[in-house]
């Protein structure tokens, strides 16, 4: 077992990148490496550097594990920050081939559009220009979707794909909006934005703090995915997926491809 001081972020990032590119799950890094949270964010940065080196562009960040339902689902109990790139955004109403993914799940979220680089304590309405319903597809690169907190941070918080609905002006309150996840016209999950750290504005504050400590530098015009309002649901090909956030609207996509 290595110590966190002698792990090589680039080496571990390559393992995770290869797993994603080939759709092949890998054992947890924590099985063989003493990766702590700080080291795990360094692996995540190295992973994103590989991807931006191939031409992907950062378009925002995402919070993970911001609800009790999500924490209970994976047995990890701390909010975490991941990064979003342009090639992983699926057009609202579009379709996406999921056959290259390992064991994808989908969850309904709320997204914020950053109006300026946010700083700690900045009022929400100064930091955020608009809100939107969103869907996130997560796909752990670890075998059996099983991981420790540092493992999932290194794996860019299981981020795989996301869809943003129509941006809307900030409503009077974002803290208790009803959320639905529908698959093929059937509601499979119901929740509230209150499930997101009690108020999704807290997710923004937590994300600003995590980005300040571990990067990246948040930018005006970036998307901020605040986290899921329900547990995630396995995603299959040939399905129509829709998230509804009451008073804001919907985000949807259709899946194609063979069984992941």
| Cis previous bond, 216, omega within 30 | yes
Which one of 85, 148, 156, 157 is in contact with ligand 0L1 (CB under 6 A)?
157
* H helix intervals, 155-239: 200-214
Q: Mask of contacts with ligand 0L1, 94-133, x by CB under 6 A?
A: ----------------------------------------
Residue whose CB is less far from ligand 0L1, 232 or 241 = 232
Reduced to 3 states, what is the DSSP secondary structure of residue 200? helix
85-93, 198-206, 225-233, 234-242 -> range binding ligand 0L1 (CB under 6 A): 225-233
Joined together, the tokens standing for residue 177 give 């909006």
Joined together, the tokens standing for residue 223 give 């998307």
Q: Phi/psi at 74 (nearest 5 deg)? A: -115, 0
Cα gap 46→40, rounded to integer Å: 10
**Total of chain residues touching ligand 0L1, rule CB under 6 A:** 13
Binding of residue 138 to ligand 0L1 (CB under 6 A): yes
β-pair partners for 81: 63
152 binds, among Mg ion, ligand 0L1, none (CB under 5 to 8 A by kind): ligand 0L1
49-57, 63-71, 95-103, 191-199 -> range binding ligand 0L1 (CB under 6 A): 63-71
122-130, 131-139, 189-197, 245-253 -> range binding Mg ion (CB under 5 A): 131-139
Cα gap 143→146, rounded to integer Å: 6
Q: How many CB atoms lie within 10 A of CB 203?
A: 27
Residue whose CB is less far from ligand 0L1, 92 or 107 = 107
How far does Cα 182 stand from its chain's mean position? Answer: 19
Q: Which residues of 43-60 are buried (b: 16+ CB within 10 A; e: fewer)?
A: bbbbbbebbeeeebebbb
Binding of residue 158 to ligand 0L1 (CB under 6 A): yes
5-13, 17-25, 89-97, 136-144 -> range binding Mg ion (CB under 5 A): 136-144
Closest contact distance (angstroms) between CB of 64 and Mg ion is 5
Binding of residue 136 to ligand 0L1 (CB under 6 A): yes
Binding of residue 150 to ligand 0L1 (CB under 6 A): no
Sequence-ordered list of residues with C-beta below 8 angstroms from that of 111, at least 6 positions apart, any chain: 131, 132, 133, 134, 164, 223, 224, 225, 226
Binding of residue 136 to Mg ion (CB under 5 A): yes
Joined together, the tokens standing for residue 100 give 């290259």
Give me the residues that bind Mg ion (CB under 5 A), please: 136, 228
Residues that bind ligand 0L1 (CB under 6 A): 64-65, 70, 74, 136, 138, 140, 152, 157-158, 227-228, 232
């Amino acid at each position: 077992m290595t110590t966190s001081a002698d792990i090589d972020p680039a080496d571990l990032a390559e393992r995770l990148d290869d797993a994603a590119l080939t759709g092949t799950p890998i054992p947890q890094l924590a099985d063989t490496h003493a990766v702590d949270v700080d080291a795990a964010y360094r692996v995540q940065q190295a992973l994103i550097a590989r991807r931006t080196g191939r031409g992907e562009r950062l378009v925002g960040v995402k919070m993970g594990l911001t609800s009790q339902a999500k924490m209970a689902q994976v047995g990890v109990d701390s909010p975490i920050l991941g990064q979003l790139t342009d090639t992983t955004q699926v057009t609202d109403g579009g379709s996406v081939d999921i056959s290259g993914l390992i064991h994808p799940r989908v969850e309904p979220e709320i997204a914020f559009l950053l109006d300026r680089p946010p700083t700690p304590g900045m009022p929400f309405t100064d930091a955020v220009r608009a809100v939107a319903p969103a869907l996130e597809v997560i796909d752990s690169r670890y075998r059996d979707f099983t991981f420790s907190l540092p493992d999932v941070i290194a794996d860019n918080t299981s981020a795989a794909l996301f869809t943003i609905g129509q941006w809307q002006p900030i409503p009077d309150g974002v803290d208790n909006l009803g959320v639905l996840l529908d698959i093929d016209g059937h509601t499979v999950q119901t929740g509230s934005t209150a499930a997101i750290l009690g108020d999704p504005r807290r997710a923004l504050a937590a994300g600003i703090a995590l980005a300040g400590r571990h990067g990246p530098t948040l930018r005006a015009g970036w998307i901020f995915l605040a986290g899921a309002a329900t547990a995630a649901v396995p995603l299959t090909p040939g399905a129509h997926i829709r998230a509804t956030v009451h008073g804001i609207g919907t985000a949807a996509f259709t899946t194609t491809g063979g069984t992941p």
